[in-house]
Structure 1
Amino acid sequence: MSDIRLKIFYTVADHLSFTKAAEILCITQPAVTKNIKELETELDIRLFERQGNKIALTEAGLILYQHAGSIFEIYRKIQYDLGLLKDKQTGELVLGASTTLSHYILPPILANFYKHFPDIRISLLDANTEKIENAVLRKKVALGIVEGKSNNKDLKYIPFLKDEIVAVVHTSQELASNDTISKDDLLRIPLVLRENGSGSLDVIAHELRSHNIRLNDLNIIMQLGSTESIKSFLSNSNCMAFLSISAVSKEITEGEFKVIDIDDLDIKRIFYFAHLQGQPEKIPEIFLRFAQNSITKSYTL
């Protein structure tokens, strides 16, 4: 199976259009059709089924499409890793990251990045999502990494990492006797949450709204400006908080905090890179790709 046929197939499958694939690949539509037919002959199975003026992937076509995507991703990683060996980069990079990322996810990535690029000097602004986005817009930060996205038309968002926000209590407190609570229970339990402008708070509010619960319906006794301050508060108070699983995984493993399940409430989010519209400059682009490559070795996006 040749790479060119696989690429033509993947492009057709991606857009479900022979015409669109021909435009993207800068070849004629008959050439696209010819290569698809030859690929089907080689594999001895139909990859597309025709439905009037439309096409759809067969079961075999779907399997090949999934494998082709993995193959092309491996090619991109090969090119990236070989590029690291060829290029020596120097310069400065100003990053901005929301609290969860800067405290719990980025440090090992930054340390590994320094090993590969010791001549790139990095500074990191730690603030909530709203402030990071504003810093990117003002060009104070070249690349932001934020919790969720505001869909600001001047910013481009690129998915980075999946995360889960969980309800936690300190195991020394009375609330730790619960394993599961209902959404009605949630309305009564004293809560400590992040401050307004926090990406975590926005994600929590959005998920609760889908269950017809507003933040004003909750028994919020305090809002604090950092995850660490919330964890310290919980250790001295019979309250519950919503925190990123990345921020409390160590304490959960050590038995200091406990996750409380809430019926039918599942809070998931995606961390995003954020930069000004257009192609990022070379050094921010290098870090972005490096971080993505690092994450794929430990997490699934």
Structure 2
Amino acid sequence: MTEWPLIIFTLLVQGSVGLTVFTAIAMFSDSNKQKPAAGLSAMLVAFIAGALGLMASTAHLGYPLNAFHALTHFGSSWLSREIVFASLYLAVLGLATLIALVKKRVIPLLLLIAAVLGLIDIFCMSAIYVHASVVTWMHFNTYVMFFGCALSLGAVAALWVLPEQLVRKVMVMAVLVLVGATLVRLLEQPLYMSYLANAGISDVVTFPHQPLVAFKEQSVLRLTAWIALVAGSCLLALSLRSARIAKGLLALGGGLVLVAEILLRFSFFSIN
């Protein structure tokens, strides 16, 4: 089973949150926070991506109004918590973007609040799958992959859409975060593979589908994704070797990271 609405939803929302995090950092480090164009393009991209992601998520619910019913179980349901924090994240980000558009003034504190809400939302999003009855999801690896994806896509998006004066303030941090997140994800994989091996031995039964079989069948896909992710990270690092950012390497490296995240997420949701 491959859930395309969930693939689109999770990637767009996580990328949106990652971009908001880097934009907030850039704005706090900018001495001229009153510049109307500074950070606005990134805020618009983050808001649109988050909004499109939430729209895609309703397709998975079958009936969009089911989202309102899910809110009634905030105290016991990770899905309810995820919907609440996703809505709060988008509302605060939308308010910050609207103020920047109308008042010609960016409020970094609002961006910071939105970023925190977004990170909480990703935690809740991860917990939904960790607590689901699918053996390939029920591991700390899900948290690592989701937060790693947010940081990776956020770093790439920040380098792509932030204005040059702000890119200069976060470019080294963005690349270091991207490389660090990639290394953490790679180092965590042996633990995850060991967990899956033990799960296979114990004949864990989840649903009628076969997540372990599907996981093994996609080994080439995952290897391709990891190679693309590592190569993209290296190219992005190389793009910062000189005083001027190498636009070609930036585009190619970022593209490889994006393709890698799509392939990894496709593999994550392919459980049949």
**Would you call these one fold, judging by a TM-score over 0.5?**
no
Instruction: Give the TM-score normalised by structure 2.
Output: 0.26
| Structure with greater helix share of residues | 2
- Rg larger for: 1
| Bigger RCO (CA 8 Å, 6+ sep) | 2
Higher strand share: 1
